[in-house]
Amino acid sequence: MLWVLATLIASVAQTARNAAQAGLTGRIGTVAATAVRFIFGLPFAAIVLAIAAALTAVPMPGPASFGWVVTGAVAQMIATGFLLMTMKGRGFGVATALSKTEPVTLALIGALLLAEPLGWGRMGAIATAVLGILLVSGANWSRGGWRSVATGIAAGALFGLSAIGFRGAILALPEGGFLIRALTVLTLTLTVQTALALAWLSVFDRQALRGIAREWRGSLAAGALGAFASLFWFSGFALTSAANVRTLALVEVPLAQLVSGRLFRQGASARQWVGMALIVAGVGWLLAVAAGQ
C-alpha cells in the first residue's frame, strides 16, 4: 500500500504548486503560468535523476516506453487546453467537476490498453467518488451549453489518457525499482513537454515567454513544487493502476472544503456535505478493494 502514501504526498505538493501558479497567472497569464510547470520543473527532475544515476542504474527507455511518454505528455497538455475552454464557457466549478470524471475514463482506458482488471467493486468505488465530486462542486448545471460539457468531459478523458501513458511508459522500462523508473519517465516527460511548450510560445506567444523570463524567481518555486508532486504521482503509477491513484487523489476535495470552512468561514450546503461523504465512501471502498487484491 506504499502507493497510498505516494498519492497523498503528491496531492499535498500539488496543492502548494497550484497556489504558486495562481500567483503567477495574474502577472504572466494562464498559458505562461501553465508552461512554467514544465520549463522550470525539468531542471529539478534532471538534477535528481543525475544524483540517482550515481547510486543505481538508470533504465534505458525503448521505443515502446518513449511512445507512451509522448502519448501522456501530449494528452496532458491538450487536456489542460480543454479545461481552460470549459472554465471560460461554464465557470470554474462546473469545469473542475467535469474534469474530475477522469477516474471513470481512466479505469476504462486502463482495461482496454493495459489489460488492468476492472471489476464491479472497483468501478462502484470510482463511480461513488465521482458522483460525490459532482455534488461537491456546487455548480449550476443548467447554465451553459452542451459544447462546454463535451470539452469538460474530454478534458477528464485526456487527463486519464495521460495518466495511462505515464504508467504505460513506466511498465515498459526494462528494469529498475519503482522510484528510479518513475524518475526516468518523469524527466523524459518534462523534456518532451518543455520542448513543445517552448516551440509553441516561440511561434504564437512571445510575450508569454518574456513574462516567464521576467518572473523567473516565482517560476522556479512553481517548477520545483511541480516536479516534486509529479515524482510522487509517477511513483504511485509505478506501484498500482492509474485509476487507483487518481481516485484516491479525490480525497483532497473534501479536505479542501473542510479547510475552507475552518479557516475562511466558508460554509458548505447539505448537497456538498452529501458529496463529501460519497467521496470518502468511494475512496474507502477503493482502498478495501485494493487491499483485497
SS3 sequence of the chain: CHHHHHHHHHHHHHHHHHHHHHHHHHHHCHHHHHHHHHHCHHHHHHHHHHHHHCCCCCCCCCHHHHHHHHHHHHHHHHHHHHHHHHHHHHCHHHHHHHHCCHHHHHHHHHHHHCCCCCCHHHHHHHHHHHHHHHHHCCCCCCCCCHHHHHHHHHHHHHHHHHHHHHHHHHHHCCCCCHHHHHHHHHHHHHHHHHHHHHHHHHHHCHHHHHHHHHCHHHHHHHHHHHHHHHHHHHHHHHHCCHHHHHHHHHHHHHHHHHHHHHHHCCCCCHHHHHHHHHHHHHHHHHHHHHHHC
pLDDT of residue 21: 66
pLDDT of residue 263: 40
pLDDT of residue 270: 75
For the chain, the domains span 2-292
pTM summary value: 0.79
pLDDT of residue 92: 56
Q: What is the pLDDT along the chain (293 residues), one digit of tens a residue?
A: 788 899 889 888 877 776 676 667 677 777 787 788 889 999 999 999 999 999 999 999 999 999 999 999 999 888 877 876 776 665 555 666 666 667 776 677 777 776 666 677 778 877 887 777 777 655 555 555 567 677 777 888 888 889 889 999 999 998 889 999 999 999 999 999 999 999 999 988 888 888 888 888 878 888 888 899 899 999 999 998 887 888 787 776 655 555 445 444 445 577 767 877 787 777 677 667 766 65
pLDDT of residue 264: 40
pLDDT of residue 262: 45
pLDDT of residue 145: 57
